[in-house]
Amino acid sequence: MNKSKIKRNSIGVLLVLTALYLSLIAYFCYAVVFYGSRWFSDSYNSRVKMDETNPRIIPGSIMDRNGVVLAETKEEVVKDPTTGKSERYYFRVYHDKAASVAHVVGFNHSKYGRTGVEAFYVYYLMGYNNSLIEKIYQKAFLPQERGNDVVLTVDFRLQDYITQLLKQQGKKGSVVLLNPKTGEILAMVSYPTFNPNDMDNVDDDSLLNRATQGLYPPGSVFKVVTAAAALENIENIGERKFNCTGAVEFDGTRVQCYKGEAHGEVDLAQALAVSCNTTFSNLGVEIGWKSLLKMGKKFGFNEDFLFSDIRMKMSSLPITYKTSKPEMAWTAIGQGKVLVTPLHMAMIAATIANDGVMMEPKLLYKVVGRNGDTQKQLKASVYRKVLNEESARILKDMMIKVVQEGTGKQAQSGVITVAGKTGTAEEGTKDQQNRNLAWFVGFASVDNPTLAIAVLVEDVGQGETGGTQAAPLAKKVIEKAVELGY
């Protein structure tokens, strides 16, 4: 082999190795930027564990947006009767009604680790974001280093009110309320809940944060996604008429409307108002898997949300070129294999309310330092543009019709105008009783939306629907939020 060929080969190998090295660096930078906060907040983070012992650093307090202390560290001085020496002990204490915010605030426990804000914002709570000067000052002049206080966007009054509503209803569920213009989460409740002051008496079901970690079939609330796909893919869809006979078949699979009711001739808006399964299942087949999947992805399905303030499970819309007509029909009405979290459904409602723009959900209002200085302040962030304004406007009008004339009448309020969509989803097998889910998603007011909501009620009985179980709950929550000035 001649020298020139060896040289060329060596250069080729060097270029390949350099490209691989640069790719590794690029991936590492990407991972640090997008996953760094997740790694740092892991319960097994050795640095945090080391700083907690003794403890070297006292974590800051967690407060709601109005300054109500939800979690704090208290000190107890115990005198040894034998030696006469005093020892300081530190322990984390949660609000007297901590169950109302338990899934949001989370806990720090030797058995269960860290969860919620206690985990995700440990970087601020432990003061790791402090300047070098502040760190040196604390080490040199303070008897105990201290982290920073974290102020959340949630309102404790709303959290407690919603928790009591779900408790009175006696069913498991979740309610998420946010500002569609800023993404601020005003309330995020999961029920059943637990008392973080008494972690020895909890069960796994109560620890589940249904709002962000629970995946459920959306049922008819998914029809807003199907309607959006129809608006942007079928020409003159608003002028089309559909004839509902109460049931329709796809390759031998029967899809019927609630109780087999025949709605007769309806347009798209009327079909959404009465939640017509035959119309939307037909639309799903007509739109096709590619266009429905594209719209679903715009809304965030099949996507790992890398939000700066919150973690949530990925919602699933598993359709491909292999998806059959019956599967497409069921998918279009929110059944089949479609799964979604309540927080994601609230974001979808908020997107429609916000002229087609999805905002990033925010849970961190601000970070306050030892001297009361604001170190970090909430800044609204556009996550993505999902719909054009015309499609969003049409969907708004359709959702107004749902509440004024259709299945969402029990969400009507004398205090504020509400728009929305109801849903009743089947969960489990046909042999299981009381496994239906009741949904309501919507926003208020219709002229100037400042509230977007998702309500999920589990285990509703036969004959109970989203319109009878979730819509009235949404009305009460929205009216309470208006009463509090939101």
Q: What is the DSSP code string of 421-461?
A: EEEEEE-S-TT-SS-EEEEEEEEE-SSS--EEEEEEEEEE-
- Distance, CA of 424 to CA of 183 (rounded, Å): 26
Asked whether the beta carbons of 153 and 330 are under 8 A apart, the reply is no
Which among 38, 204, 189, 43 has a CA at the least distance from the CA of 115?
Answer: 43
Q: Helix count (H) and strand count (E) of the chain?
A: 17, 21
Strands 185-191 and 173-178, by their bridges, are: antiparallel
Residues forming a β-bridge with 77: 88
Q: For the segment 294-316, what is each residue's pLDDT rounded down to a tens digit?
A: 999 999 999 998 888 888 999 99
Residues 6+ apart with CB under 8 A from 148: 60, 124, 125, 127, 129, 130, 367, 368, 369, 370, 375
Average pLDDT over residues 113-123: 89
Structure tokens at 418: 């509400």
What 3-state class would DSSP assign to 42? coil
Instruction: Give the amino acid at 313.
Output: K
pLDDT at 118: 92
- Distance, CA of 348 to CA of 425 (rounded, Å): 18
Read out DSSP for 336-355? TT-BB-HHHHHHHHHHHHTT
Residues 6+ apart with CB under 8 A from 436: 424, 425, 426, 427, 459, 460, 461, 462, 464
- Distance, CA of 102 to CA of 154 (rounded, Å): 12
Asked whether the beta carbons of 154 and 64 are under 8 A apart, the reply is yes
pLDDT at 111: 76
Asked whether the beta carbons of 359 and 350 are under 8 A apart, the reply is yes
At residue 32, does pLDDT exceed 60? Answer: no
Average pLDDT over residues 440-451: 96
Place of tokens 């429905």: 292
Place of tokens 């020895």: 200
At residue 430, does pLDDT exceed 90? Answer: no
pLDDT at 461: 84
At residue 26, does pLDDT exceed 60? Answer: no
At residue 130, does pLDDT exceed 50? Answer: yes
Instruction: Give the amino acid at 8.
Output: R
At residue 14, does pLDDT exceed 50? Answer: yes
Strands 247-250 and 253-256, by their bridges, are: antiparallel
Q: For the segment 354-380, what is each residue's pLDDT rounded down to a tens digit?
A: 999 999 999 999 999 998 999 999 999
Read out DSSP for 269-306? HHHHHTT-HHHHHHHHHHH-HHHHHHHHHHTTTT----
Average pLDDT over residues 191-198: 93
Q: How far is CA 395 from the centre of its chain?
A: 21
pLDDT at 432: 46
Question: What average pLDDT does the structure give for the chain?
Answer: 88
Which among 440, 441, 483, 476 has a CA at the least distance from the CA of 180?
Answer: 441
Residues forming a β-bridge with 250: 253
Cα-based distances in Å from 373 to 121, 122, 139, 152, 368: 18, 18, 19, 16, 6
Q: How far is CA 319 from the centre of its chain?
A: 22
Cis peptide before 361 (omega within 30 of 0): no
What band does 13 get if pLDDT is binned at 50, 70 and 90?
Answer: low
pLDDT at 345: 98
Read out DSSP for 77-112? EEE-TTT--EEEEEEEEE-TTGGGGHHHH--EETTT
Residue 470 is given by DSSP the state I
Q: Which residue has the higher pLDDT, 371 or 7?
A: 371
Name the burial class of residue 438, with classes exposed (0-12), middle (13-18) and buried (19+) by CB atoms within 10 angstroms of its CB.
buried
Structure tokens at 229: 């796909």
The secondary element (H helix, E strand) that includes residue 57 is strand 57-58
pLDDT at 100: 95
The torsion defined by the Cα of 209, 210, 215 and 221, in degrees rounded to 10, comes to: -150
Within 10 angstroms of residue 378's Cβ, the number of other Cβ atoms is 19
